[in-house]
Amino acid sequence: MADIIDFKSAAKNIQRKRAEDSKKSILCLEGHHKWQASKKKPFENKQGRLVTVYICKNCQREKTVLS
């Protein structure tokens, strides 16, 4: 006999997965990044100031902040 598939629950799972995947990229496109301090370069010293490098978790974009 054939297996019975519940299409409603399968469709909901697919929609949920697509929403989670697109949520990450859409947020970054709109400028809402998830910044995390870089562990490769925790800090640099330029012109006597502390420079921290942040990297977005989703799109790997870099941002530097002077302290």
Domain boundaries, the chain: 7-66
Cβ atoms of 50 and 67 closer than 8 Å = yes
d(CA 66, CA 58): 23
pLDDT of residue 24: 65
Q: What is the pTM of this model?
A: 0.57
Gap between the Cα atoms of 7 and 4, Å rounded: 9
pLDDT, position 16:
80
**The predicted structure's pLDDT at residue 40:** 82
